[in-house]
Amino acid sequence: MRKIGLKEVDDIALGASLLGAGGGGDPYYGKLMAIGAIKERGAVDLISPDEVPDDAIIMPIAMMGAPTVLCEKGTGGNEYQVIYDIVSQYLGKSVYAVMPMEAGGVNSMLPIAAAARLGLPMVDCDGMGRAFPELQMVTFTIGGVSATPMALTDEKGNSAIFNTITNKWTEELARAVTMSCGGSVTVGLYIMTGATMKAYGVKNIVTRSEMLGRAIRSVKDQPELTPEDAFLKASEGYRLFRGKIVDVLRETNGAFNLGHVILEGIGDFKGQKAEVSFQNENLAAVVNGEIRATVPDLICLVDTETFTPVTTEALKYGKRVLVVGLKCYEMWRTPKGLELVCPRYFGVDTDYIPLEERVKGGAV
Amino acid sequence: MYKLGIDVGGTNTDAVIINQQREVVAEVKHPTTNDVYEGILCAIREVLEISGVDRKEIRQTMLGTTQCTNAIVERKHLAKVGLIRIGAPATTGIPPMVDWPEDIQAVVEDYVVIRGGFEFDGKELSPLDTEAARAFLERMKGKVQSIAIASVFSTIRNDHELAIAQLCREVMGEDIHISISSEIGSMGLIERENATILNAALYRVAQQLTEGFAKSLVEEGISNAEVYLSQNDGTLMTMEHARRYPILTIACGPTNSIRGASYLSQVKDAIVIDVGGTTTDLGVIQNEFPRESSIAATIGGVRTNFRMPDIISIGLGGGSIVRQGPDGQVTVGPDSVGYRITSEALVFGGKTVTATDIAVRLGMAELGNPSLAAGIDEDFARRAMDVIRNMVEECIDSLKLSNEDVDVILVGGGSIVLPKDLAGTAHVYNPEHFGCANAIGSAISKVSGNYEQLIDYNQIPRDQALEQAKEQAVKLAVDAGAIPETVEIIEVEDVPLAYCVGNTCRVRVKAAGDLT
C-alpha cells in the first residue's frame, strides 16, 4: 500500500493521456475532481491487487455521458457515497475498494476522487490497460463478469440500479437515463470479487501510468540518453515512425471521432510515409504501405519535442510527432480477447499480429 | 483629424499618429518606464513634436497595454474578490481555484457555492438559493469591493447570474464592482469562473489605467479626443467598457501587431512574423483578424478559456547570441543581448556576435558599422543563417493549415535578420513603418457590436432569425461609434440547445466597423 497525493495525480494524469492511445479525452476535469477530493479528504491509499482478499467486493467507477456537460457541471462529490450505499445494500455486503475501469483519459481520474471521498482504498488495476470506446471492451468480459448490476447516479441524488440481459441493453438504458439526468452521470459497474479482479484485471496499471507521466516529464534530464531514447526506454515503446502531419482526414459517424492522419517522415525517416487510422483511439499504423501495428496494441502519437501525448482531437497539419507502439495486456492477445477487440471489429482488414513481430519484419 | 495609437509593450512604448487617409504621419519608440505613464507621456510628446500636428486635431486615441497581463503575472495591485458560484448540488466536487498557484489564490477573500444554475437544455438544475447568496454578500460587506459570479451553463441561460448581480447591488450598494461569467467566457465552468475572478481582481488596475491615461492626455493638451482601449480580439472598447471588463485587454499586443502588419501591407490573409530583440512571434491573419487558438490560455498559472490569437513564440531576435559549440554546431539564441544590442553587437562596436551581425556580414542588412562584422568567418555566418532559416520555416509550417504556400508579412525591429526566400511561402511582404506595427494596429482598430440571444427556430425560421441578429449586431456597432457603411459581420455562431424541446439555438453575431 502506498499513498496517492497531488504530485502523483499529476503524473498519473499525464501517463493516462499516453495510455489513452489517442482517445479517452483530456483528463483535465477528471484531474480537478481528484485534486479537489484529495485536498478535502487527504491522500488516497493505493493497494496492490495481492493485498485484496479473494471474497472482497471491488467496484470500478466511471463517468458516462457528454464530456462537454462534464466540463460545466463537474460532479457534486456525493455521488460516490450514493453508489456505494446502493451497491452495498443490493449485494448485502460492503464494497471493499474501488478501481478504474480504464487507464486512459478522464476515467483514470474519477476513481481517485471516489476513493478519497469514500475513504476506501483504490486497487492498482484496471480492465483495459488503455482506453477503448465500448462498454463491453474490458478484460472482465473475458472472465464472464457482467456489467450489471450497475449503479448510476446524478449529482442531484437521483439514482438507479440496472439489471440487464446484455451489455448492449446496459448501454442503451443507461444512455437514456443519463440524458434525462442532465447529460453526465457517475456509474459503478462490473462489480466483482477480489479473486475475479486478480484473475482478469490489468495489474499495476496505475503505477505504470504514474511512471510514464514522470518519465515524460524527465526525458530531458538523462545525460547518457537522447530524450527520444529516454522516452522509448521508459515506455518500453517500439519506435514506428517519426514525421510531420501533412493531412488529417476526418469523417463524422455518430459518437465516434473517425479518420486517418497522413505523416511525412522527418529525421532518419525522411522520404518515407506513414498513415495512422483512428476511431476515438488509434487503430492501425501503416509505414511505407506496410502495417506495423494494430489494435489492441497501443499506438500513441507524441510530440517530438515535449513527448506529451497528442489525442486524435488535437491532430493538425504541421505537428511533428513520434509514433510509438506499446504492447497491450497479454489477455487481449488470446482468442477470447481478440473476439472483443480484434482489428476487424474496428474495420481494419487484417489478422492481429503482435506489435513486436510486425516490427521485427521491418527495418527499424 | 488625426488618430493617435499607443502600444505599451514590455520593452518599448510605441506611439503613432495617422491621418484621415489612415497614412502614418509620425512614429516613435520610447523605452517603457517603470512608471508606465511617464513612458506614455514621453512617447506622446515626441510623436506630437515630430508630426507637428495640432493637439486639438487629435480626435481619437487608442491604447493597447500589457498592464493587466502584468498585474496578474506579477500578482501586483490585484483587488480582493468575493466569489459566488451558482451550481450546487453539481460542481461541488471541484472547489473554486483548486489548481491555482497558491500565491494568486489569495485574491479571493472568500467564496460560496450556492444552489442554482441550469442544465444543458436550459432546464433549471436547481432553484436559485438567493438566501445563501444574501448571507454571503452581507458577510463580504466592507471586506471586498469586487464580486465575481459564475453559474453552471450560464452561456445558455444567465438568468441566475443576473438575479444575483441585482441582489449584490441591493446588498452592497451601486458602487460595487460586479463581474459575471456569461459576459466574460465561454463553455467550461472552471475556465470561465477563473477568468471572471481575474476580471474582478483587476478592477482597481483598470480604474487607474483608464483614469491615468485620460489624465495624461489632458495634460498633453489632447482634450478633443475620444479614448479607446484595445481588446484581444482586435477591436476597441470604450473606457467605460474597459473599466468593467479589463480582462479583455489581455494579450492585445500580439493581436495589434498582427492587425497592424496586415494593414501596412494591405494583405488580409497571411502569416505575420514579428521579430523583436529577443523573441519572434508568429501568428496568422485571416480576413484582417487574427486566427484564434483552440488551446486553453493560461494566464499567470491560471487556466482560462479565452480565445487568444494563435501565436508561436521562439527565442530568436535581432539580439540573439550566435555561438559555435564544442561539437562544432552553430547555435542562435535563445539568449539575447536584448536592448543592449546598440552597445554589445559587433556592428555597434561591441564584443558579442548577434543575429544582426550575421545579417550584416552576409550583406542582408546595413546597420551600424558593417566593417566591424567583416571578421566573421563566412562559412560560420552561413551556417548561423541556416539555423535561423530552419527555426522560422518550421514555425511557418506548423501554423499552416495545408501544404499550400502562404503569404508572409515580416514586421518588427529584428526582422532584418530573416532571409526573404523562406520555404513554403508565396510572397514575403516587408511593409514600411514595420517597427511600429503594434501601435498602428491599435490606431486602426475597429469597434464592434456583439449580439447574443436564444431563438426558437420553430417560431422564427433560421434565415430570418440570423438576419435579425445580424441587424442587431450592426446596430450595436454603429451605436458604439462605427461608420455604418464600414460595418461588416465578422462572426456568426448558432449553437443548438441539444435535446431541448422545440428547436432553440443560441445565436451569437459579432459585427465590426471603422470609427468615424
- C-alpha torsion sign, points B295, B298, B303, B308: negative
State the pairing for strand pair A57-65/A44-47: unpaired
The pLDDT, as a whole number, for residue A314 is 79
Residue of A nearest to B126 (CA): A156
The pLDDT, as a whole number, for residue B121 is 79
Residues in A closer than 8 angstroms to B120, CB to CB, are 66, 68-69, 72, 182-183
CA B28/CA B5 separation, integer angstroms: 11
**Cβ-contact B126, B117 below 8 angstroms:** yes
The pLDDT, as a whole number, for residue B506 is 72
Q: Which of A71, A75, A244 sits opposite B187 (nearest CB)?
A: A71
Residue of B nearest to A80 (CA): B93
Here the cell at position A263 is 505523416
Q: Which of A39, A73, A318 sits opposite B98 (nearest CB)?
A: A39
Confidence of residue B323 (pLDDT cuts 50, 70, 90): very high
Residues in B closer than 8 angstroms to A66, CB to CB, are 120
Q: Check whether A201 has a pLDDT greater than 50.
A: yes
- Interior CA angle at B10 toward B5 and B12, to 5°? 50
Q: Which of A32, A113, A318 sits opposite B99 (nearest CB)?
A: A32
State the pairing for strand pair B177-180/B297-299: unpaired
Please report how the helices B203-219 and B189-201 are oriented relative to each other, as an axis angle in degrees rounded to 10.
50
A309: preceding bond cis by omega (within 30 degrees): no
- Interior CA angle at A342 toward A341 and A347, to 5°? 100
Mean pLDDT calculated for residue range A152-169? 93
Domain boundaries, chain B: 1-76+202-250, 79-200, 314-435, 445-513
CA B467/CA B419 separation, integer angstroms: 47
Q: Which strands form B81-88's sheet, in the order they lie side by side?
A: B108-115, B81-88, B146-151, B177-180
Mean pLDDT calculated for residue range A109-116? 97
Q: Which fold has domain B445-513?
A: Dodecin subunit-like (3.30.1660)
Domain B1-76+202-250 and domain B79-200 have a common topology? no
Q: For chain A, give the percent of residues with pLDDT over 90.
A: 76
Phi–psi pair at B398, nearest 5 degrees: -75, -15
CATH of domain B79-200: 3.40.50
Interface of B with A in 415-474 (CB under 8 A): none
Interface of B with A in 128-157 (CB under 8 A): 152-153
Confidence of residue B499 (pLDDT cuts 50, 70, 90): very low
Confidence of residue B500 (pLDDT cuts 50, 70, 90): very low
In this structure, what DSSP letter does residue B169 have? H
* Higher pLDDT, residue B449 or B164: B164
Phi–psi pair at A35, nearest 5 degrees: -65, -45
- C-alpha torsion sign, points A10, A14, A17, A21: negative
Phi–psi pair at A260, nearest 5 degrees: -145, 160
CA B16/CA B257 separation, integer angstroms: 13
Instruction: Classify B164 as helix, strand or coil.
Output: helix
Q: Which fold has domain B1-76+202-250?
A: Nucleotidyltransferase; domain 5 (3.30.420)
In this structure, what DSSP letter does residue B6 have? E
**Cβ-contact B311, B394 below 8 angstroms:** no
Q: Which of A45-59, B160-174, B314-328 has the lowest mean pLDDT?
A: B314-328
Element at A90 (helix H, strand E): helix A79-91
The pLDDT, as a whole number, for residue A362 is 52
Residues B201-251 have pLDDT tens digits of 999 999 988 988 888 898 889 988 999 999 888 889 888 889 999 998 887
Q: What is the pTM of this model?
A: 0.86
**Cβ-contact B180, B147 below 8 angstroms:** no
**Which contacts qualify for A132-136: CB closer than 8 Å, 24 or more apart?**
A132/A102, A132/A281, A132/A341, A133/A23, A133/A256, A133/A279, A133/A280, A133/A281, A134/A171, A135/A167, A135/A170, A135/A171, A135/A189, A136/A167, A136/A340
**Cβ-contact B311, B283 below 8 angstroms:** yes
The pLDDT, as a whole number, for residue A256 is 66
Residue A175 sits at the chain B interface (C-beta within 8 Å): no
Q: Which of B89, B99, B119 sits opposite A76 (nearest CB)?
A: B89
CA A106/CA B480 separation, integer angstroms: 44
Residues A182-200 have pLDDT tens digits of 889 999 999 999 999 999 9
Cβ A316–B401 below 8 Å, yes or no? yes
Residues making up chain B, counted from first to last = 516
The nearest CA of chain B is from the CA of A318 a distance in Å of 4
Closest CA to A157 of A188, A179, A185, A176: A185
Mean pLDDT calculated for residue range B417-429? 90
The pLDDT, as a whole number, for residue B495 is 67
Residue of B nearest to A9 (CA): B99
Find cell 497592424 and name the residue.
B260
Residues in B closer than 8 angstroms to A83, CB to CB, are none
Residue of B nearest to A10 (CA): B99
Nearby residues of B504 by Cβ (< 8 Å), 6 or more positions away: B122, B454, B455, B456, B457, B496, B497
Cβ B189–A74 below 8 Å, yes or no? yes
Residues A120-150 have pLDDT tens digits of 999 999 999 999 988 899 999 999 999 999 9
Question: H-type helices in B297-366, by residue range?
Answer: 341-344, 355-361
Alpha carbon distance, N-terminus to C-terminus of chain B: 10
Cβ B93–A113 below 8 Å, yes or no? yes
A223: preceding bond cis by omega (within 30 degrees): no
Residues A233-277 have pLDDT tens digits of 999 999 999 998 988 887 755 556 788 999 999 889 999 999 999
Residues B99-131 have pLDDT tens digits of 999 999 999 999 999 999 999 878 999 999 999
Confidence of residue B502 (pLDDT cuts 50, 70, 90): low
Q: What is the mean pLDDT of chain B?
A: 89
Residues in B closer than 8 angstroms to A113, CB to CB, are 93
Residue of A nearest to B153 (CA): A72
Q: Which of A35, A71, A72 sits opposite B98 (nearest CB)?
A: A35
Nearby residues of B291 by Cβ (< 8 Å), 6 or more positions away: B283, B284, B285, B309, B310
Burial class (CB in 10 A: 0-12, 13-18, 19+), B49: exposed
Residues A307-345 have pLDDT tens digits of 999 988 778 777 889 999 999 999 999 999 999 999 999
Cβ A37–B89 below 8 Å, yes or no? no
**Cβ-contact B346, B372 below 8 angstroms:** yes
Here the cell at position B388 is 535561423
**Cβ-contact A22, A130 below 8 angstroms:** no
Mean pLDDT calculated for residue range B174-192? 91
Residue of A nearest to B98 (CA): A36
Domains in chain A, CATH or no CATH each:
2-205 (3.40.1610.10), 234-361 (no CATH)
User: Torsion over CA of B48, B54, B56 and B61, rounded to 10 degrees?
Assistant: -30
- C-alpha torsion sign, points B470, B472, B474, B477: negative
User: If you count residue pairs, one on A and one on B, with CB atoms under 8 Å apart, how many are there?
Assistant: 97
Residue A156 sits at the chain B interface (C-beta within 8 Å): yes
CA B130/CA B122 separation, integer angstroms: 19
Cβ B94–A32 below 8 Å, yes or no? yes
Residues in A closer than 8 angstroms to B398, CB to CB, are 318-320
Q: Check whether B324 has a pLDDT greater than 80.
A: yes
Residues B67-82 have pLDDT tens digits of 888 889 888 899 999 9
Confidence of residue B497 (pLDDT cuts 50, 70, 90): low
Question: To probe the interface with A, which of B85, B98, B186, B295 has the most A CB atoms within 10 Å?
Answer: B98
Q: For chain A, give the percent of residues with pLDDT over 70.
A: 98
Confidence of residue B501 (pLDDT cuts 50, 70, 90): very low
Residue of B nearest to A319 (CA): B398
In this structure, what DSSP letter does residue A304 have? T
Phi–psi pair at A340, nearest 5 degrees: -85, -35
Cβ B400–A78 below 8 Å, yes or no? no
Residues in A closer than 8 angstroms to B98, CB to CB, are 32, 35-36, 39
CA B483/CA B515 separation, integer angstroms: 6
In this structure, what DSSP letter does residue B35 have? S
Q: Which of B88, B98, B188 sits opposite A71 (nearest CB)?
A: B188
Report ipTM (2 d.p.). Answer: 0.88
Confidence of residue A202 (pLDDT cuts 50, 70, 90): very high
Residue A113 sits at the chain B interface (C-beta within 8 Å): yes
Alpha carbon distance, N-terminus to C-terminus of chain A: 40
The pLDDT, as a whole number, for residue A363 is 44
The pLDDT, as a whole number, for residue A255 is 57
Confidence of residue B335 (pLDDT cuts 50, 70, 90): confident
Cβ A69–B120 below 8 Å, yes or no? yes
Interface of B with A in 403-422 (CB under 8 A): 403
